[in-house]
Amino acid sequence: MGDDLIEKALGLLCDKYIFPEKAAEAAAAVRARRAAGAYDGLAGAELGARLTADLAEVCADKHLRVRPREEDVREALTEEQMAAAYAKQLRRNNYGIARVERLDGNVGYLDLRQVPDASVGGRAIAAAMQLVTHTEALIVDLRKNRGGAPNGVIFWTSYFFSGDETHLNDIYDGASGVTRQFWSLAHLPGERYLDRPVYVLTSDVTFSAGEEFCYNLQAQGRATLIGATTRGGAHPTEFFPLSPTMEITVPIARAVNPVTGTNWEGTGVVPDVQMPAAEAFAYAYEKALRHVIATGSSAAVLEEARAALPQA
């Protein structure tokens, strides 16, 4: 069973990976180690961890992993079943939106743990933005965001740009050789969040689509990033079941930012203000409060903002 799983994983790697030469090199290395008995007696999570480490020696790609499948998707083996399981999972975790709040001083706060596909989570994203639309500064907390869908990133970040004239990202697809451009959306449900500061919180957990969210806004000068350098995974990925209990995640494309000409793979997104992630919220909130006080507002909001400022 272990040999069959390894061979299936290597077949998918060679067929799907965005860098075919690296895939062939990594597959040859794993096959040589298998012949030498390196995987004898290994199964499940232990086998997955060993294969992931061995593949990383050649590919150094944080999205390339062999791992146990989550229990609630283990019956999903076809594309249709996996899509249904994904949609159910998103509903259960509120489409990655852990918290939406108006903080004292009329500062908005979004705690986003995942980026849903826009076709599934668009209504939830629009509802969250509606709840912060009248705030005077916004904090977007991505410190626990482990990724999601590129089109969800475009949906979210389109709220911070006017119209459809901002070129946010490109994705080169390995199978077709086609580069798809992603621009801010011409139409969105509700109001856009324009002409007000946005502060994005990051950590070394922030990954994949969460990183694209950060990188797109930073490249366009639309947000101030605060916290720790992110994890460093820029390759859009597909999930392939190897068995009911194991899967391989294979990067099938790569992001190319139209401003920088590159991406954050391996390097992570470096924040504008670097500090321990645990301290990022307090720093951002104080900056937001000082903005509210400096730009003026209603007497009630100014009183709230001054009261919320930390005392020297």
Note the pLDDT tens digit of each residue in 110-143.
Answer: 999 999 999 999 999 999 999 999 999 999 999 9
Amino acid 293: pLDDT = 95
> Domain residue spans in the chain?
2-63, 93-233+268-308
What was the pLDDT predicted at 272?
98
Residue 279: phi and psi, rounded to 5, are -95, -5
Residue 76 is predicted with a pLDDT of: 67
Query: Which residue is associated with the tokens 């668009």?
Result: 122
Ramachandran sector of residue 126 (left: φ over 0; alpha: ψ -120 to 50; beta: rest) = alpha
What is the model's pLDDT at position 85? 79
In the 3-class helix/strand/coil scheme, how is the chain assigned residue by residue?
Answer: CHHHHHHHHHHHHHHHCCCHHHHHHHHHHHHHHHHCCCCCCCCHHHHHHHHHHHHHHHHCCCCCEEEECCHHHCCCCCHHHHHHHHHHHHHHCHHHEEEEEEECCCEEEEEECCECCHHHHHHHHHHHHHHHCCCCEEEEECCCCCCECHHHHHHHHHCCCCCCCCEEEEEEECCCCCEEEEECCCCCCCCCCCCCCEEEEECCCCCCHHHHHHHHHHHCCCCEEEECCCCCCCCCEEEEECCCCEEEEEECEEEECCCCCCCCCCCCCCCCEECCHHHHHHHHHHHHHHHHHHHCCCHHHHHHHHHHCCCC
Q: Are residues 72 and 88 in contact, defined by beta-carbon separation less than 8 angstroms?
A: yes
> From residue 276, how far is each of 203, 227, 230, 231 by CA, in Å?
8, 6, 12, 14
- Domain 93-233+268-308 sits in CATH 3.30.70.260: no
Ranked by mean pLDDT, the top range of 2-16, 67-81, 204-218 is: 204-218
**How many other CB atoms sit within 10 Å of the CB of residue 232?**
20
Return the pLDDT at 74. 67
193-239 pLDDT, tens digit each: 999 999 999 999 999 999 999 999 999 999 999 999 999 999 999 98
Q: What is the pLDDT of residue 83?
A: 81
Least trusted range by pLDDT, from 34-38, 121-125, 267-271, 295-299: 295-299
Percent of the chain predicted with pLDDT > 90: 88
Give the model confidence (pLDDT) of 147-195 as tens digits.
999 999 999 999 999 999 999 999 999 999 999 999 999 999 999 999 9
Question: Tell me, what's the pLDDT at 84?
Answer: 84
